[in-house]
Structures are given as structure tokens and as C-alpha cells.
Amino acid sequence: MDLEGRIRYSEPLRNHTSFRVGGPCYAWYVPASVSAVAACSELCRKSRIPFYVFGGGSNILADDGGYKGVVINMASPRLKSISAEGTFVRVSASVEIGNFLDFLAKKGLAGAEFLAGIPGTVGGAIRTNAGTFDISGSRRWRHLGEILEEMEILDEGSRIRRIKASEVRFSYKKGPEGDIIILNAVFSLRRGSGPAIKRRMKEYIARKRETQDTAFASAGCVFKNPEGCPHSAGELIDRCGLKGYRVGGASISLKHANFIINEGKATSGDIKTLMEAVAEKVKSEFGIKLETELNLV
């Protein structure tokens, strides 16, 4: 079994999460190849050691008590690759969204601009079916599933499999589920002009900067927008008057009420208590049950 790569024991997850919280994991594994990812996942499954597949760390609330298992860092530099063939782009799950988009702009490939400003890796973005409202103001929800052609994954038996995007039911904040590891993806784009693509990407980034608290440590939106409700989670929390409400070192952003900010010394407990308080208040005010979109580790 080939476990080539680097292992660090008791690595604090707060060093890797955008929330800047999270205690130590047993082992932080930076695999050097796809076969090493397969070997590690197989070893963990056989030995019944829990493992967590870590992308960019931007949608995670890691517990300060730590993670009693192996964290496989899919953002390993040794796993990164990207290439274009016509209007198709093959990219490894480990590549950051920002780098993927830089590549597309350079190649003059359009269609993925709506992903601009979304943090994390391509793999994480597929898992969560990352998306945003169209910049036109039409409130059309644009999501990664629209432009994905196919994926290469490791299945529950640590075997490489190819899956067509059409076989996956992509929905709001939901990509492929189950005990799989995304390795590579092929996206279908269209020809466009480099400067126009860059301009559109900048527009998406500017909108985020305007409406969201991008300057502070956070994990982006904490709650999903409730299905069938004309109001977003942020709007509901805002209407409860919770902006600026704090627990310990965590507070509700003054800019966007669906963002929880780590002011510097927040613990995972502060954030969880704040999340519970918010959900309770929204439930009692509007009778709506908010559901978190963060991965709790």
C-alpha cells in the first residue's frame, strides 16, 4: 500500500479553516498522488478509523475538541492539474476555484464567471454545488451543476469511477452525496473574450464585497435559504434584529446577517451557541426552521 505524501500528527484544524477554529486532528495527511488518496481511504475503512476529506476549509465548522481521525487534505499541491481541450476543461478537485477561473479567463473560456469570489476548491464546490444569484439581478440561481460534464471519483471501495453529471441530482447547495471522494472534473464551457470574462468575474467579486463580510474570518453563509420562502435566511435573521448579536468572540455580521464572524478569539462553542440562538429566534418569530449549510466536523 502506497501512502506517499506527508503526515502531521495533532495538526490544529484552525490553521486550515476559514473560520479559524478547530482543534487538532489525529493525523493531517497531504497525499502525493491519487493512488495515495485511495490507499489512505482504504486503510482507514479497513481499520475503522474515521477520515474526513478536506477541500479548502471554507464551509466547515470544526470542533475545538478536535477530530479523532485522519483528515485527507485534497488541496495537496501534488494533486493539482488543469488542462483544456477545445471548450472542455479537465481540472483536479484540489485546484482552488480562483485558480480555475484565472485559467478560464486566460484561455478565453466563458460560462463559469458566476463562481468568482467563491472560496475553496473545485472538489468542495462540486460537493456543495456552489452557486450564486446571476449578476443581472434576475434572482436566477446559477450553480456549478449547470456547467459540469463529468467527474472522476473514488467510490466506497476506493476504486476510480467516472460519473456523468447527468447521473447526479444537483439541487440547491447539494451535489453528489455518499461516501465518495471527488478526484477530477470536466467542465463544459464556451468560447468568449478574455477581457469580457475577467470583467464579469470582477462584477461577481465586487457584489460579494459590497454585500458580504469578506474581510473577516467566517465560513460564508451559515444557513441555507429556506425552501419555498420568499425571504432569504439573511433577511429573516436581520428582521429579528440580530445583526451585531454576539456570543463570546463570535458575532452576527453587521453587513450580512447570514454570516457569523470570528472576531479573533471565537471558539467553536461560541459559534454553535450563536447558531442555536439564531435558529431559535427565527423559529419563534416566523415559524421557520433554519437548516445549516456548514459541515460540522
Residues of the shown chain interacting with ligand EPU in the complex, contacts defined by CB under 6 A: 132-133, 211, 220-221, 224-225, 232-235, 238, 256-258
Nearer to ligand EPU, 104 or 130 (CB): 130
Nearer to ligand EPU, 226 or 249 (CB): 226
- Cross-strand partners of 28: 8, 71
What gap in Å lies between CA 227 and CA 165, rounded to an integer? Answer: 24
- Shortest Cβ 225–ligand EPU spacing (Å): 5
What is the residue type of 138? S
Would you tell me how many other CB atoms lie within 10 Å of the CB of residue 88? 14
- Shortest Cβ 133–ligand EPU spacing (Å): 4
- Shortest Cβ 112–ligand EPU spacing (Å): 15
Nearer to ligand EPU, 41 or 218 (CB): 218
Would you tell me how many other CB atoms lie within 10 Å of the CB of residue 3? 14
Going from the C-alpha of 4 to that of each of 36, 37, 50, 149, 217, the distances in angstroms are: 6, 9, 19, 30, 33
Strand 160-164, strand 260-262: pairing = unpaired
Q: Could you give the maximum distance between any two Cα atoms of the chain, in Å? A: 56
Alpha helices in the chain (DSSP H): 34-47, 97-107, 122-127, 194-211, 233-239, 268-286
- Shortest Cβ 163–ligand EPU spacing (Å): 23
Q: With H, G, I as helix, E, B as strand and everything else as coil, classify residue 9.
A: strand
- Shortest Cβ 210–ligand EPU spacing (Å): 9
Q: Are 82 and 100 in contact (CB under 8 A)?
A: yes
- Shortest Cβ 85–ligand EPU spacing (Å): 30
Nearer to ligand EPU, 60 or 197 (CB): 60
Nearer to ligand EPU, 85 or 177 (CB): 177
Nearer to ligand EPU, 80 or 174 (CB): 174
- Minimal CB distance to ligand EPU: which residue? 220
What gap in Å lies between CA 123 and CA 75, rounded to an integer? Answer: 9
